[in-house]
Amino acid sequence: MGATDAEGLPVGRHPGWPARLGPLLTARGTVLLRPPRLRDAGPWSQARLRDRTYLQQWEPTAVGGWQERNALMAWPAQWASLRGMARRGQALPFSITVDGEFAGQLTVGNIVRGALRSGWLGYWVTERLAGGGVATAAVALAVDHCFGPAGLHRLEATVRPENLRSVRVLEKSGFRREGLFLRYLDVAGAWRDHYVYALTVEEVPEGAVTALIRAGRASRPRS
C-alpha cells in the first residue's frame, strides 16, 4: 500500500491530484475547492432535492427519477465513481464550499493526455448562491490548476444558450465561444442546442484567478 492523503487518495498518482484550490473571497463568502468526501452525502442530497426546479432545467436527462438519483443513499456510488476516475487520471472532481459549507460541485472530466492534453469542465452551485460570483471563482481556480499542476493545454465547456448565468461565468473566466452544437444533449425531455466554449493556456498568461481579481470580482484572503 502506498501513501495516501487525508481524503484517502494515493499521493502523486496523477498530475494535479489530489488538490485543494483556493481560497478566494467573493460577495457570497470564501470559496474553496476540495476533493469530494463520503460525508458530503447529507448536504449534497439536501441541496439537490431542494433545488430540483432550478437544477433540472440545465442537466442531462438520466435514468431514474430525480428523487431517487439525488437521495442520500445515491451519493456513495457517485463518490466512489468520482474517486475512481480521479485515481485513474480521467477526471479532477471537486466539491465547492463557501465558508466551509458544501455549495456545489465542479468536475474536469474526459481528461486526455498525450498530444491533446484536454478536458471538459462542468459545475453547479446551489440556487441561493447563484449569481454571487461563487461559480466564477470556482471556475477560475480550476482553470489555473488545470493549466498549472494538472498539465492540461485546453478546456472545453458546453452550455445551453438560455442559461445566461452560466454563459456569463464562462465568459468572465476567459472562455470564448467556438460554435453551436445542434440538438446536442437530451435535457428536460428534449434534444437541446448547446454552445461550446473553449480556453487554452496561451489565452490566460497571467492566470484566470489574477484576471478575476484585477477585474474586481474576487480577492485573496488576508493572511
Condensed to tens digits (0 to 9), the pLDDT of residues 65-77 reads 999 999 999 999 9
Q: What is the pLDDT of residue 46?
A: 98
Q: Rounded to whole angstroms, what are the CA distances from 86 to 7, 45, 144, 154, 166?
A: 12, 22, 18, 18, 25
| Sheet strands side by side (includes 154-159) | 21-26, 29-34, 92-98, 101-112, 118-125, 154-159, 190-200, 176-187
Query: What is the structure's pLDDT at 4?
Result: 54
Calpha distance 49→43 (Å, rounded): 10
Complete domains list, the chain, with CATH = 21-214 (3.40.630.30)
Series of mean pLDDT values for 10-residue runs along the chain (223 residues):
50 80 96 98 98 95 91 97 94 98 98 95 96 96 98 97 96 96 94 98 96 95 81
Residue 14 is predicted with a pLDDT of 80
Q: How many CB atoms lie within 10 A of CB 99?
A: 11
pLDDT tens string 4-36: 544 444 454 588 999 999 999 999 999 999 999
Contact 27, 136 (CB under 8 A): no
**Which cell is 145 given?**
490548476
| Cell numbers linked to 199 | 480556453
Residue 13: the pLDDT is: 59
- For residue 2, the model assigns a pLDDT of 55
Q: Is the peptide bond before 221 cis (omega within 30 degrees of 0)?
A: no
Cell of residue 87, nine digits: 485515481
